[in-house]
Structure 1
Amino acid sequence: MIDIDDWFQSAIDDYELKNIPFENFGKKKKKIGRGGFGDIYSTTCKSIPSISAIPEVIALKGVSVGEEDSGMSIKRFLNELKLHSMAKNDRIIKFFGVSRDEDNDQYYLIIEFADGGDLRGYLTRNKNNIQWEEKLNLAIQITEGIAYIHNELNTAHRDLHTKNILIHKGSAKISDFGLSKCLDSTITTRSKIFGVIPFIEPQVFHDRRYKPDKKSDIYSLGVLFWEISSCCTPFRDVNHTTLGNEIFMGLREKPVPETPLEYVQIYSGCWETEPTQRFELNYIIDRLKTTSLTPVFEDPIIPESETPSDLYLKIDNNFASLSIITDLDISTNIRVQHVSSSINSKNYLKTTVKPIKISLPLRTIGELWLLNFFEKFYLFNLMILLLSSWFFNI
């Protein structure tokens, strides 16, 4: 059990942290959010000779030890202190020290103030003008940050989502290590689910004893990448009381129109249900850096006047009935002609050609070649069929 009277000083000594007097901060403090165990404020900070890099405006991230779950809050607070004291990377939000407001029994981490807010808010505000080049850069920066946490700190973040990614001067920075776990340590079995449901891997909803690890972060990256592509909250129209079970059963968000197909392939490879099938971080970074912005995903467009029965060729006198295949798994943008033909009672041919735009994922060049071959073969036989029908009805 943590002794509330001495845990703070012990943390300062153990992690060699800077203890900044609370009087150094401005009296006006603006609440800008809430972390896993306390409110977050922005405020000014006086110059501190021993911390030359501390900026004029900082963020105070607090924990209240008076809350009912103070023991858990302090443990998470200490965990974040430890990891922040170790992390030295531009993709991680900067950490300057700790402070205590004795009047209100509040403890704070002093961290970098992110002028762009969290990623979710940033995407929402810029939904109509953010370009794909910037989206890819954000995805790369976040992945590089996770790679640093995994490789240099040997730690899994375990709570990765768009509100834990902060934007400062146009760059993405990872924050909130409260649920992070060093993989050299023993992970305590827990019965509660912590985190934001859309970003949690399926295994957690099936087995409460499941231990999230680095592959859990890869799954969360996939959902995070999707949110970057859409600028929308994932599963916003799904009831969250049943969402966990639906994710376990295979529910995933659908690609957003105009998303580069390579990007869709990347995040789909991240959120695979089976952890061993998820992409590796180095592979993800390499793919993101070389991703082409074309071709893009587009929704299939079928005229509203059409019914499923319109999607095949039919000759009225039952001479023949042929189907047009529309569900080939080919990853490119193609145009398939919808042919509707009939021979009426006056024995003349009437043909209409209607375009249907179909967007599907290209796996191999061979599949596209086969499609073109069978399309030409189909049209050739159709011509023979129609000419024969016309000839025998003269």
Structure 2
Amino acid sequence: MHIGGIKTIIRYGSQDLIHLKNISSEGVYAANWKNTSTIYVIKKFVDNKEVYLTRMADGHQNIIRLYGVTTLDGKEKYSLVLEYAEGGTLRSYLRNNTVPFNWENQLRFAKEIASVILWLHDFKEIIHGDLHSNNILIHKDSIKLADFGCSCLKESDDNTGALGSGVDHALRLLILNGLREDPIQNTNAIFVKLYEKCWEHEPDNRPNIRQVISELNSISPKNNNISITFTPEESEESVKTENLYLSDSD
């Protein structure tokens, strides 16, 4: 069938998607395929552009797979049929995971995110446009980038800006006025310097994605270059800032 300029896209019958349950306030559902244990995610999409760009981006191991489209009962518009990420969002993983998030995994996740951004920019010429921890999912202990509803092609003027639409408006203003999260105690010093460079107010002063990957590859997974510790006052302020960052758009 033809949707969003794409000829080969599979349409799934809604009768084959059972045990539908809402998993997000954004119109996202989980459903079983027929009477199997296979779970798909059903997501309402904004327009045909989202289907087109989701399909274009399909094919990287760190991007949620697009399987096809369907129409839910009583709905006229199509919904995307997507891969299910059993680990949930990165935000919920950071908040609720009972297994310690060790440095080796932190570094690996950062490399996976940077790698998929490079792939989108250089090989697909796609700007994601809404990169935040609710659009980064965890599946089988790996990163999966999702939600291309705000994405655009490089040459397009349709861009949501560096902060994306998933950042709360009040927080957006604070960030634009210079608010930055304090480094977390015992974080690798080179890693801290890297993400502080990425926070530079002037875009021209930020490293490009290839420079980010090069820096990440230079960091030891053994975390043998620990950053300085903080005073109790600094640590308390860091917690306040961290809570502000995590509380937006839940």
Shorter chain as denominator, the TM-score bin is: 0.7 to 0.9
Matched, 1:86 2:14: no
* CA RMSD, 1 decimal: 2.7
Matched, 1:180 2:172: no
The whole-number CA distance in structure 1 between the counterparts of 2:96 and 2:112 is 20
Matched, 1:46 2:16: no
Secondary structure of the structure 1 residue equivalent to 2:180: coil
2:6 equivalent among 14, 20, 26: 14
Match in the other structure for 1:31: 22
Letter of the 1:44 counterpart: N
Would the aligned equivalents of 1:164 and 1:174 in 2 still touch at CA under 8 Å? yes
Q: How many residues were matched structurally?
A: 228
Change (3 A) 1:184 1:175: same
Change (3 A) 1:269 1:302: closer
1:246 equivalent among 159, 170, 174: 174
Would the aligned equivalents of 2:4 and 2:52 in 1 still touch at CA under 8 Å? no
Letter of the 2:90 counterpart: L
Change (3 A) 1:13 1:267: closer
Secondary structure of the structure 2 residue equivalent to 1:144: helix
Q: CA deviation at 1:151?
A: 0.8
Match in the other structure for 2:237: none
Would the aligned equivalents of 1:15 and 1:85 in 2 still touch at CA under 8 Å? no
The whole-number CA distance in structure 1 between the counterparts of 2:99 and 2:153 is 39
Secondary structure of the structure 2 residue equivalent to 1:166: strand
Structure 2 residue runs without a partner (length 5+): 234-250
Would the aligned equivalents of 2:5 and 2:52 in 1 still touch at CA under 8 Å? no
1:196 equivalent among 151, 162, 166: 166
Would the aligned equivalents of 1:271 and 1:278 in 2 still touch at CA under 8 Å? yes
2:43 equivalent among 61, 68, 87: 61
Q: CA deviation at 1:55?
A: 8.1
Change (3 A) 1:105 1:184: same
Q: CA deviation at 1:195?
A: 0.8
Q: CA deviation at 1:15?
A: 4.1
Match in the other structure for 2:246: none
Query: TM-score, normalised on structure 2?
Result: 0.82
The whole-number CA distance in structure 1 between the counterparts of 2:10 and 2:81 is 10
Change (3 A) 1:283 1:13: closer
Match in the other structure for 2:184: 256
Q: CA deviation at 1:115?
A: 0.5
Q: CA deviation at 1:148?
A: 0.9
Match in the other structure for 1:215: none
Structure 1 residue runs without a partner (length 5+): 1-8, 48-53, 64-72, 199-239, 304-394
The whole-number CA distance in structure 2 between the counterparts of 1:266 and 1:13 is 39
Match in the other structure for 1:98: 69
Letter of the 1:83 counterpart: L
Q: CA deviation at 1:289?
A: 2.3
1:134 equivalent among 97, 105, 116: 105
Change (3 A) 1:134 1:189: closer
Over 6 Å off, 4+ runs = none
Query: TM-score, normalised on structure 1?
Result: 0.53
Q: Which has the larger radius of gyration?
A: 1
